[in-house]
Amino acid sequence: MASSASRRFEGRRVIVTGAGSGIGLATAERLLAEGAAVVAADVSATRLGDLDGRHRGDPLVSVVADLSVAGDVDRVVAAAAGPVDGLANVAGIMDGFVPPAEVTDEHWSHVFAVNLDSMMRLTRAVLPGMLAAGRGAIVNVASEASLRGSAAGVAYTASKHAVVGLTRSTAFFYAPKGVRANAVAPGGVMTNIDATFTSDWGRERVMPYLTTDLTPVATPDQLAAAITWLLSDESSDVNGVVLPVDGGWSTI
């Protein structure tokens, strides 16, 4: 948790998705502690209710939304009630480590809708306000699976590689306009994400690559520290990067 001396986000409004749990929750709470007004979106009403309960009186607006649905994304943007300074696209789901030969169209589409389409739609929605203001910061949560083929199933891996493309494209197009887009690529993080294997071959093939002494499991707060830095003016010349926050996994 940030000290009260650090108020980097005073006067700033930031949308955080996946704010009910794990990395998104830690990010939302750190932003609130640092002075931001936060629009917190999550599909879980229970989790957002808990967040609200801990932050009564804080500048927090919670929106229960399934971000795989375009109309729900619109409701999140409407809840911001105006331009935002930052967008943290954190919400995402795993894919059961399902290999290409076993993935169904439905599974593929759902993983992409949550992990990628939601980020594109939110990015598209906040950009006009950021461009009018001549500044803004977007941070997308990618994954170790953005960097390699051995960290998840095919749908998750492909969607998280695409998150990198979304990030770099956004950074490229709007660098001259004062809007930045960066990504963080977490390794293993202690959260509620469902990391069960639903494929035998997925388990047999991937499991050996997930366990190594070099990659201790991170805390959500460690990710929130990186995400808020990329959202803040302290990273004002950092644009289009994919920052591994993985204890060194990306070096293997």
Task: Select 52 or 133, whichever has its Cβ closest to ligand NAD.
Answer: 52
Task: Select 191 or 199, whichever has its Cβ closest to ligand NAD.
Answer: 191
The residue ranges that bind ligand NAD (CB under 6 A) are 18, 20-24, 42-44, 47, 65-68, 90-93, 114, 141, 143-144, 186, 188-189, 191-193
Minimal distance, residue 23 CB to ligand NAD, in Å: 4
Task: Select 194 or 200, whichever has its Cβ closest to ligand NAD.
Answer: 194
How many angstroms separate the CA atoms of 121 and 41, rounded? 14
Residues 6+ apart with CB under 8 A from 107: 95, 96, 98, 155
Secondary-structure percent of the chain, ordered helix, strand, coil, rounded to 5? 50, 15, 35
Residues in the chain: 252
User: DSSP characters for 173-233?
Assistant: HHGGGTEEEEEEEE-SB-SS-------HHHHHHHHHHH--TT-PPBPHHHHHHHHHHHHSG
Name the 3-class secondary structure at 109: helix
Minimal distance, residue 130 CB to ligand NAD, in Å: 22
Residue 10, exposed/middle/buried by CB under 10 A (0-12, 13-18, 19+)?
A: exposed
Minimal distance, residue 176 CB to ligand NAD, in Å: 29
The residue annotated as part of the active site, out of 9, 156, 174, 249, is 156
Minimal distance, residue 212 CB to ligand NAD, in Å: 14
Task: Select 178 or 222, whichever has its Cβ closest to ligand NAD.
Answer: 222
The answer to whether residue 209 is catalytic is no
Minimal distance, residue 33 CB to ligand NAD, in Å: 18
Task: Select 55 or 177, whichever has its Cβ closest to ligand NAD.
Answer: 55
**Active centre residues (catalytic):** 156
